Amino acid sequence: MKDFVHPNCPRQAALDEPDMPKTRNMASRKSQAEPVRNRAISIARKLAAATGEALQRGPTRLALIGGVCALGLVIMGLQFSGGPAETATGPELAADATSIDTTGIADAETAVATAAEAEAPAADPQDGPATPDGQPLGTGPAAPAERAWQYVQVASGDTMEIIFRRLGLSPRLLHEVVNLDDRTDSLVDLRPGDELAFELDDEGLKALRTEYDDENWLFVERTADQLSSRLEARNLEVRVAEVEAEITSSLFNAGKNAGLSDNMILRLAGIFGWDIDFALDIRRGDRFALLFEEIYRDGQFLRQGAILGARFVNQGESFEAIRFDAGNGPDFYDPEGRPMRKAFLRTPMSFTRVTSNFNPSRVHPVTRRVRPHNGTDYGAPTGTPVWAAGDGTVIEAGYGAANGNYIFIKHGNHIVTRYLHLSKKKVKRGDRVRQGQTIGLVGATGLATGPHLHYEFLVNGRHRDPRKVDLPEAEPLPADLLPAFKAHADTWLTRLEELMPPKVMLASSSGESRPAPESRPKATTAPK
């Protein structure tokens, strides 16, 4: 269909001109206008990019960029709309082509640049000069994007094989992961409620994360087709907690009522176990105070941690212990810097009820004859661990009709400890043992009416009451460490006295009131 053009239209006059001049003139204009057209296309692309950014930046930015786009379109419309320039021929057309007003296009370019600059975040003056890319000097690279974890909570019956299959991961890969090292073999021990995090890509497993222990994440990661594992510390917070309690029935009950864990109660007894027999010497009215760490993870309570300082008042006598690291790992010391750890334990097992005390004139429960009881009986369930009271050498380990399974240990030149009625021996004659090492288990072998440990303490061949015998003192801290220790200890001892001040009067064994022991003077020596 032929286009209709009005006879009076200027365009018609141009169409009626000879073909050759028109073609030549149009080619000339096209050639000379090409740079302008290229600039216009470039501006259009910038406008499109600016509009895309504006869509992500919000309504205000969108309005600004939209206004710039409208301005650019108006300018380009003026430059390339049909008009008198199209009717010119020959030299006039060429002149028009070379005299196109490009100021509008330049203005559009300036507007786009200005809009982008206005939208750029202003640098904080405190950040210092900015780098060419607009980032303040010294800020380092931008933080990496968060990893795209896919979380899996272990359900009852789930195994790693099932979970890998569910995620489209091969059994061969699972074999490689769990056999990677000693850490990753724990991945096969899943429990309902455990959480695994997987990062997957087109090649399969990129990373795996799971809880390794209370304090660490376990990561398994693929880098350059190689698997590796690492531990990463979790976000833990340590707080100092304090507890003060009075014993009305037992140490265990007092500790539980104060909110202490079973493990914390046993550790408290272990600190003072060289000075106090917790099976025999605890009395109603004894008191203790404790400063210890509490561990929190992600703001949630996790567990009770290390003991920092403790005080125990037993039958009116006060004992204090402070945790301090002298270079060989942390240990406990009294306020004068002497180790709480002595050469011998007062009780060679965890504190329990006692069925018979040291009594040289007691009636034997089996033979019904008066027979000296040269030792202490500690009643406990069969299988309860029995500890070596001190370092030494096993000189006898056997069985006797009266003693049942027994073990004798020699400590130095003049002290021997004996352990009778054991259900099982865990050492043999000639073995070297360390203090606190399990040497046997409580039983009822030989002449025994029930499961218990019969414990004897001999000095130069003579029986002594292990609860009352004077034990050798351990060496104190070196003199060069004492100033630092006392400065450290003073902080915790002050808090202990604030937590549990000494009572004004204490009841004696006769029932009479007597003054409380004088409190320890505070250490004031500052570290050099």
User: Does 243 lie in the same domain as 228?
Assistant: no
Asked whether residue 129 is assigned to any structural domain, the reply reads no
Please name which of 324, 357, 317, 349 lies closest in space to residue 338, comparing C-alpha atoms: 324
Asked whether residue 124 is assigned to any structural domain, the reply reads no
Asked whether residue 122 is assigned to any structural domain, the reply reads no
User: Does 519 lie in the same domain as 428?
Assistant: no
Give residue 328's pLDDT.
86
State phi, psi for 525 to the nearest 5 degrees: -70, 125
Spatial contact of 390 and 474, defined as CB atoms under 8 Å apart: no
User: Does 285 lie in the same domain as 199?
Assistant: no
Residues contacting 143, CB < 8 A, separation 6+: none
- Count CB atoms within 10 A of the CB of residue 138: 9
For the domain that residue 224 is a member of, what is the CATH number?
3.10.450.350
Q: Which amino acid is at 282?
A: I
Asked whether residue 291 is assigned to any structural domain, the reply reads yes
User: Does 218 lie in the same domain as 252?
Assistant: no
User: Does 61 lie in the same domain as 26?
Assistant: yes
Q: Which tokens is 429 given?
A: 């004659």
Give residue 152's pLDDT.
95
User: Does 478 lie in the same domain as 337?
Assistant: yes
**Domain endpoint, select from 233, 262, 292:** 233
Residue 408: domain span: 345-472
Per-residue pLDDT of the chain (528 residues; tens, 9 = 90+): 444 444 444 444 444 444 444 444 444 554 555 665 666 566 656 655 555 554 455 444 444 455 555 545 545 554 544 444 444 444 443 444 444 454 455 555 555 455 445 444 444 444 444 443 444 444 445 555 567 899 999 999 999 999 999 999 999 999 999 999 999 988 989 999 999 999 999 989 999 999 998 889 999 999 988 999 999 998 899 999 999 999 999 999 999 999 999 999 999 999 999 999 888 889 999 999 999 999 999 888 999 999 999 999 999 999 999 999 999 899 999 999 999 988 898 889 887 556 665 454 555 555 566 555 678 888 888 999 999 999 999 999 999 999 999 999 999 889 999 999 999 999 999 999 999 999 999 999 998 888 999 999 999 999 998 878 887 777 789 999 999 999 999 999 999 999 998 764 344 444 444 444 433 333 333 333
User: Does 440 lie in the same domain as 354?
Assistant: yes
Q: Please give the tally of structural domains in the chain.
A: 4
Integer Rg of the chain from CA: 44
Q: Tell me how far CA of residue 354 lies from CA of 61, 269, 381, 419, in angstroms.
A: 83, 16, 12, 15
State phi, psi for 129 to the nearest 5 degrees: -65, 150
User: Does 267 lie in the same domain as 284?
Assistant: yes
In terms of C-beta density within 10 A (0-12 exposed, 13-18 middle, 19 or more buried), how is residue 528 classed?
A: exposed
Asked whether residue 309 is assigned to any structural domain, the reply reads yes
- Rounded Cα distance, 119 and 117, in Å: 5
**Domain endpoint, select from 233, 265, 283:** 233
User: Does 323 lie in the same domain as 270?
Assistant: yes
User: Does 424 lie in the same domain as 319?
Assistant: no
User: Does 175 lie in the same domain as 213?
Assistant: yes
pTM comes to 0.56
User: Does 461 lie in the same domain as 361?
Assistant: yes
Asked whether residue 2 is assigned to any structural domain, the reply reads no
Asked whether residue 1 is assigned to any structural domain, the reply reads no
**Domain endpoint, select from 97, 116, 135:** 116
Q: Which tokens is 193 given?
A: 């409620």
State phi, psi for 519 to the nearest 5 degrees: -75, 155
- Rounded Cα distance, 239 and 233, in Å: 18
- Count CB atoms within 10 A of the CB of residue 252: 18
Give residue 144's pLDDT.
53
For the chain, how far is it from start to end, CA to CA, in angstroms? 108
Give residue 47's pLDDT.
55
Asked whether residue 196 is assigned to any structural domain, the reply reads yes
DSSP type of residue 363: B
For the domain that residue 356 is a member of, what is the CATH number?
2.70.70.10
